[in-house]
């Protein structure tokens, strides 16, 4: 593939801008500066540098973000900064035919909720992970206002009725880790679901953190606001995730 096309697919600007980056000597492959926008390279495993920024070619971008509190999962935030400001420009500018440019968050977390968020520019992967029929489990660490008792755990497992749906909503798993710490696994994604479920059993969410999606756990060394590429095996494990499957961790 031509180097200018490679830069374009990776989000470094329009084709004209990418050609200009090459012509001005801002692009290096290995130790060599590339001066011809038409020079071709094998993209598999290709690593290059643009204006000092090291980059690895990715046909599709798959990444995890540790969402910090006080951020919104929106391209046009209303009150708090957008999570997209935490990403480098190429990830926000990757071309996407007939869609919004750049990677998109798979689902949303409230501004005060922290934890694991997946992002990609692969529309099929977004649909797969967000589809209700696949029931990909998500684990939440819930800090509660009141101590958790056995009856609350039992009711969450049996199912509670929310105000917008007569059908009970059940936790796939529920564990009182400590008096004020509940670990809750859900396979649905209703609006403010965790907060509403806790309210339905007479408690209140004080803090909320998503620690796992399917087999993928948020790495302990990924600080709030940081992001990381997903490995191929992590993406494949997420594609195959189903409710009830054993959680064979593929975190890094």
Alpha helices in the chain (DSSP H): 3-9, 15-23, 89-93, 123-130, 150-158, 193-200, 232-239
Q: How far apart are CA 160 and CA 166, in angstroms?
A: 9
Distance (Å, whole) CA 49 – CA 21? 11
Q: Which of 70, 167, 60, 58 is nearest to 112 (CA)?
A: 70
Cα 116 to Cα 108: distance, rounded to the nearest angstrom = 10
Provide the greatest CA pair distance for the chain: 69
**Residue 179 among the catalytic residues:** no
Which residue is catalytic, options 110, 112, 163, 165? 110
List residues with catalytic annotation.
110
């Amino acid at each position: 593939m031509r180097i200018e096309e490679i830069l374009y697919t990776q989000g470094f600007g329009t084709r004209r801008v990418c050609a200009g980056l090459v012509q001005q000597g801002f692009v290096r492959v290995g130790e060599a500066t590339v001066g011809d926008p038409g020079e071709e390279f094998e993209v598999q495993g290709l690593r290059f540098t643009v204006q000092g920024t090291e980059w690895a070619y990715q046909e599709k971008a798959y990444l995890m973000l540790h969402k910090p509190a006080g951020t919104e999962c929106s391209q046009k935030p209303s009150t708090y900064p957008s999570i997209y400001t935490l990403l480098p420009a190429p990830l926000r500018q990757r071309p996407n035919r007939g869609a919004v440019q750049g990677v998109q968050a798979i689902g949303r977390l409230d501004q005060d909720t922290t934890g694991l968020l997946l992002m990609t520019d692969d529309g099929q992967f977004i649909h797969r992970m967000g589809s209700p029929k696949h029931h990909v489990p998500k684990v939440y660490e819930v800090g509660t206002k009141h101590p958790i008792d056995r009856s609350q755990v039992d009711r969450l497992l049996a199912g509670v009725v929310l105000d917008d749906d007569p059908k009970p909503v059940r936790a796939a798993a529920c564990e009182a880790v400590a008096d004020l710490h509940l670990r809750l696994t859900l396979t649905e994604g209703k609006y403010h679901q965790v907060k509403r479920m806790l309210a339905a059993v007479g408690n209140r969410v004080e803090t909320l953190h998503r620690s796992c999606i399917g087999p993928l756990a948020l790495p302990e060394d990924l600080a709030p606001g940081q992001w990381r590429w997903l490995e191929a095996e992590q993406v494949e494990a997420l594609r195959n995730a189903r409710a009830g499957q054993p959680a064979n961790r593929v975190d890094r």
